[in-house]
Structure 1
């Protein structure tokens, strides 16, 4: 299953649940995202020819993160750019999430192992603004579950 978290017509997050399965390849991100996310399922003996990637100048202005929940259970809290709480969802072992826009916070509901992938180089404290979580009075957010 694929879940899109949308607020004010902006895609905040894409969640690929561990039970998602499809033959072939599917990209879930628009071409203009600075982080691209896809799923591949290929049969035995399928070959991806060896290749190298060209040097292409890219400008990245916003960090987008991909988290793979290796083990455990994690609550993700979503916030808009004004630091207002929107909604939460639970991720479990095997789930993958792309955090594209807006704010987010996490609480480990169980001991958890997470693998994170994001653009570099790391900008240290210039990379983010930390804030205290607001009361979680829910603002209704469109959660578009597809597939």
Structure 2
């Protein structure tokens, strides 16, 4: 299951519940700067062997994928204008892919998670800035 967070026609993020998937899907638009797919396979399957070509791409945003293995993560999604968009609660086997903007993240005790970001990483001062958050 995939839910899009769209503001003024712009895809800000997608929320995935991996507990509610059937079949194979790639819900990210083909022009999105970060691609995500998921699947549930009923029978053995071999994917066609392939090599990913080196392709020069120009990317101006940093996408970030958050995934909760177990526990609870509360993500307050923020737009590029620093305004609150939506609160997303991720629990076991749920993920959020944010394409633009930022977020405030609260992790509950004993939560296991991972995150993936686009590189290269040029350091905190170059890559991001802190915002005052009291929008809720």
With 37-46 and 72-81 compared, the bigger mean Cα shift is at 37-46
1:145 equivalent in structure 2:
none
**CA-CA distance at 1:27 after TM superposition:** 1.0
Is the partner of 1:62 in helix, strand or coil?
Answer: coil
| Structure 2 Cα separation of the partners of residues 83 and 30 of structure 1 | 24
- The runs of at least 4 aligned residues of structure 1 exceeding 6 Å deviation read none
How many residues were matched structurally? 135
Matched residue SS, 2:106:
strand
The secondary structure found in structure 1 opposite 2:68 is: strand
Rounded Cα–Cα distance in structure 1 between residues aligned with 2:42 and 2:67: 23
Q: In the alignment, what sits opposite 1:5? A: 5
TM-score, scaled to structure 2? 0.90
State the match for 1:134 in structure 2: 134
Structure 1, residues 39-70: CA drift from partner, whole Å, max 9, x if none? Answer: 12233321112221111111121110111111
TM-score (ref. length: structure 1): 0.84
The match for 1:19 is: 19
Consecutive unaligned residues of structure 2, counting only runs of 5 or more, are none
RMSD, aligned α-carbons:
1.5
Task: Give the SS at the match of 1:19.
Answer: helix
Q: Report the 3-state secondary structure (helix = DSSP H, G, I; strand = E; otherwise coil) of the residue aligned with 1:49.
A: coil
Q: 2:18 and 2:50 mapped to 1: Cα distance?
A: 29
> What are the equivalent positions in structure 2 for 1:1-147 lying under 5 Å apart?
1-23=1-23, 25-125=24-124, 126-136=126-136
**Which protein has greater RCO, CA pairs closer than 8 Å, 6+ apart?**
1
More deviation, 37-46/92-101: 37-46
